Amino acid sequence: MSRRSSLQGLWSSRRSFVLAATGAAVGLGNIWKFPYLAGINGGGAYVWVYLGCILAIGLPIMIAEVLLGRRGRRNPIDGMRLLSEEETGGGWWRAVGWAGVATGILILSYYSVVAGWALDYTLRAAINLFDRGELAQAGRAFDQLRNAPLRQVLWHTAFMAMSCWIVAKGVKGGLERTVGYLMPLLFLLLLVMVGYAAGTGGFAEAVDFLFHPHAGLDGRTALVALGNAFFTLSLGMGVMMAYGAYLPEGISIGRSAIAVAVADTIVAVLAGLAIFPVVFAQGMQPALGPGLLFRTLPAAFLQMPGGSIFLLVFFILLVCAAWASSIGLLEPAVAWLVERHAIPRARAVLIIGAIAWVIGFGTVFSFNRWADVKVFGQTIFQNLDFVTTAILLPLVGMLIALFAGWVMSKSSSADELAEGSLVGYRVWRFAIRFVAPLGIIAIVIHKLVR
Ligand code: TRP
């Protein structure tokens, strides 16, 4: 069987790959999670651990994932099976592909609900439906939305349909074209937002909050930062493998991955710089948790001159970012159905989309009907979030590092990374064999003993 036999197409250029991978990376993780996590974890110290995790652990693992993807040249499950057989004689490592694909579907299920909130807010901001007085008092708009399961289900459905529609159109016509428009638009809107925030009077305070370590870190915080780093780079769930499988030969994996990681980090930092100045300028608290974007921010914006327009811009931005990411969440599982089971692409998208859609109800109801249904003291949504980002992502990331660094022969990885420099290769190999696995272990142990 030729390596390319069932492949779904190749990216037209390095730029397309970088755009698509950046599209997957930049999303709710950067604009919603990173700011609220930085907010509840005290700012500076969290931010530096997060940045350290991206550089020392995230980047080498991203390179490894793309490398495995391109070498396997098929969806993550079959790709890992093939590589596993080639390198070890057994197919055991395909479990990595399975875990990644399953994690993707779980994340998509709640991702789509949160993106649905953003859609709801976009519409409300557009037709100026926010009631200024009420919002300023208590963020009632968010509570109303959270207590309206049907409304959330509708937006969740709308968002899932938007994502399925693009993925059904395939790699070139769907993915590549869409992110080609969305990503530049997103950067532009974000810069506009930061420019606006810089004029609010809270900018210096925001910079201090984000970059000056004010408090120490406990174990849970470091683990959260690691999970956040994996999540934001879209690691540990097969999407970088799936996208790597469509990467033509002769394109440098290292340089592409660096571009993606840098772009992703810039967006997260810019999002922080767009949000916190507004929050501080209005004398509000940074530590509000998941409601930061949906409760605090609208209230803050609406009290400022021109704020309602910028609020609208902000939520459009959030929807675009989430949209490009959800495409990446669908792709690995869809590619597997299409390649392995010869299911037509549109039908494969419907199947995976429907599974994630149904699981998403658990998240919707976590905020209302099932708010009292607790497993380990947490709601379904909190469990989904914790199990995926704090457990599955680091675990799969670790396995990928072990496979690429220790199981795969040096000649295989050197062959795949041959476009880069020799020094670059040595640094990567050291990072993937030692720094990344030991870093993950250290953070997990730190969490367990505290
Ligand atoms: N990186 C995305 C974000 O920051 C979320 C995400 C995690 C993702 N894993 C993914 C997106 C896999 C696409 C594919 O919002």
Q: 3-58, pLDDT tens digit by residue?
A: 544 566 788 888 889 988 999 999 999 998 899 999 988 889 999 999 999 999 99
To the nearest whole percent, how much of the chain has pLDDT over 90?
52
The best mutation among 31, 54, 231, 265 to test binding of ligand 1, ranked by most ligand atoms within 8 Å of the C-beta, falls on 231
Residue 189 has pLDDT above 90, yes or no: no
Which pLDDT score, from 0 to 100, does residue 412 have? 92
Half-sphere exposure in the Cβ direction for 21 (13 Å, CA):
36
404: CA distance to ligand 1 center in Å?
22
Residue located nearest, by CA, to atom 7 of ligand 1: 234
Which residue type, as a one-letter code, is found at position 2? S
Residue 258 has pLDDT above 70, yes or no: yes
Name residue 375's beta-bridge partners.
378
Q: What stretches of 234-367 show up as alpha helix (H) in DSSP? A: 239-245, 253-281, 297-302, 307-341, 345-366
Cα–Cα distances in Å, from 341 out to 111, 154, 194?
Answer: 27, 31, 47
330: CA distance to ligand 1 center in Å?
10
108: CA distance to ligand 1 center in Å?
9
Residue 203's pLDDT band (cuts 50, 70, 90): very high
Q: Any idea what DSSP says for residue 290?
A: G
Name residue 378's beta-bridge partners.
375
Residue 413 has pLDDT above 90, yes or no: yes
262-302 confidence digits (pLDDT tens): 999 999 999 999 989 988 988 888 887 778 888 877 877 78
136: CA distance to ligand 1 center in Å?
32
Residue 102 has pLDDT above 80, yes or no: yes
207-216 confidence digits (pLDDT tens): 999 999 877 7
**What value does the mean pLDDT take over residues 325-351?**
93
Nearest to 414, CA basis, from 261, 254, 262, 256: 254
Lowest mean pLDDT among 3-7, 94-98, 107-111, 207-211: 3-7
Half-sphere exposure in the Cβ direction for 325 (13 Å, CA):
31
Which pLDDT score, from 0 to 100, does residue 138 have? 43
**What value does the mean pLDDT take over residues 184-207?**
88
| Token pair in block for residue 232 | 């934001």
Residue 1 has pLDDT above 50, yes or no: no
283: CA distance to ligand 1 center in Å?
32
More confident residue, 106 or 238: 106
Nearest atom in ligand 1 to 329's CA:
14
Nearest to 176, CA basis, from 118, 101, 248, 235: 248
The best mutation among 113, 230, 234, 331 to test binding of ligand 1, ranked by most ligand atoms within 8 Å of the C-beta, falls on 234
1: CA distance to ligand 1 center in Å?
32
Distance of CA 172 to the CA centre of its chain: 22
Which pLDDT score, from 0 to 100, does residue 193 have? 86
**What value does the mean pLDDT take over residues 176-184?**
81
Residue 176 has pLDDT above 50, yes or no: yes
Taking CB atoms and a 6 Å cutoff, what residues make up the pocket around ligand 1? Answer: 24-25, 27-30, 104, 107, 231-232, 234, 237, 239, 325, 328-329
318: CA distance to ligand 1 center in Å?
13
CA distance 308 to 401: 46
Residue located nearest, by CA, to atom 9 of ligand 1: 234
